[in-house]
Homo-oligomer: A and B are copies of this chain.
């Protein structure tokens, strides 16, 4: 039985779902002669670690207890398992995590760091564990969409890092692009809808609903961030576009990406509350969006909020696209990616499906972990 020791950072929706997946897949992995062994879990404030981090693990009951505690809004510190695990505070935890990684390295089995947080605070630790040749799996977009220096450092051992769930949740986007690149199938162009929220918004306004109504409904349905401007700014899509562009070899940063925001600067979070924006700001945008839709429609086209990456460009914003293309046909919150390359030159390779949700995102992380099994003894 091959053991993959795991330290999980981030126990929000995705992290908790990952722990549940790990527990519920025990038999599948047993049949693959694999044991996913969670030796530590941390949120931003504390870290719990198995009593003997090299010979024991956090057991399934305890992992599910962690999920419950975090779901209820409590902190990890409230966990009491009768002294069965060690708890470290935010001050100690980074150095303790590095200690554990270093010891695992000496034992030649390796430790895998999983980042399911949404924070850039994990970057310094990730940089150090990459140096220790630990495996790293990211759902967190921040580490690979920050400075180029961080990026280069994190991918310095390319086989030791996976990050499928940073783009399109569990959709096989990164793994498929990596396959194309390694087989010399040069990618000429990627165009994709990588925000379920903006995909939903653009396909709803297309059928005649006012932009402001659609955004308000999307917020009520829980499709948007608490402040919908976090979606409408396009910044989240830009981070995904940056990760794809860097994968294709672009030496760029977030600042180099042309990002179209769906609200004007004077409606920004510093100048308007969420409530004001929803009630008074948004309706002022309706007419312009309507005008653009009608213009596109008169050309037989539709509008989509997409990322567009080719040899020289990396842009994020509204594009007029043929009604009868995979992107043009997109309805609801699916993600879709069209990849043009030497092998897929006339018709693109298309990958489409749910690109959000804790279940799918966590499944992508788990697939990445399993995919790295050959690194372990």
Contacts and interface: CB of A to CB of B under 8 A. Distances in A.
A291 interface: no
Interface string A145-183: 000000000000011000010000011100110011111
B364 A183 contact: yes
B32 A367 contact: no
Contact of A172 (B172, B184, B363): B172
Contacts of A29: 182
Copies of the protein in its oligomer: 2
Interface stretch (A53-61, A267-275, A302-310, A353-361): A353-361
B179 A172 contact: yes
A349 B353 contact: yes
A334 B347 contact: yes
Interface in A336-377: 342-344, 347-354, 357, 359-360, 363-364, 366-367, 370-371, 373-375
A332 interface: yes
Given A184-B24, A184-B366, A185-B363, A179 B371 contact: yes
Given A172-B176, A182-B28, A349-B171, A357 B334 contact: no
A311 interface: no
Interface residues of A, number: 48
Interface of A: 21, 24-25, 28-29, 32, 158-159, 164, 170-172, 175-176, 179-185, 326, 329, 332, 334, 342-344, 347-354, 357, 359-360, 363-364, 366-367, 370-371, 373-375
A357 B374 contact: no
Contacts of A366: 182-184
Contacts of A329: 329
Nearest to A26: B184
B180 A363 contact: yes
A52 to B, nearest CB: 28
B347 A350 contact: no
Given A170-B343, A359-B343, A363-B343, A183 B353 contact: no
Contacts of A370: 179, 182-183
A82 B62 CA distance: 69
A184 B25 contact: yes
A11 B28 CA distance: 38
A172 B185 CA distance: 13
A374 B159 contact: yes
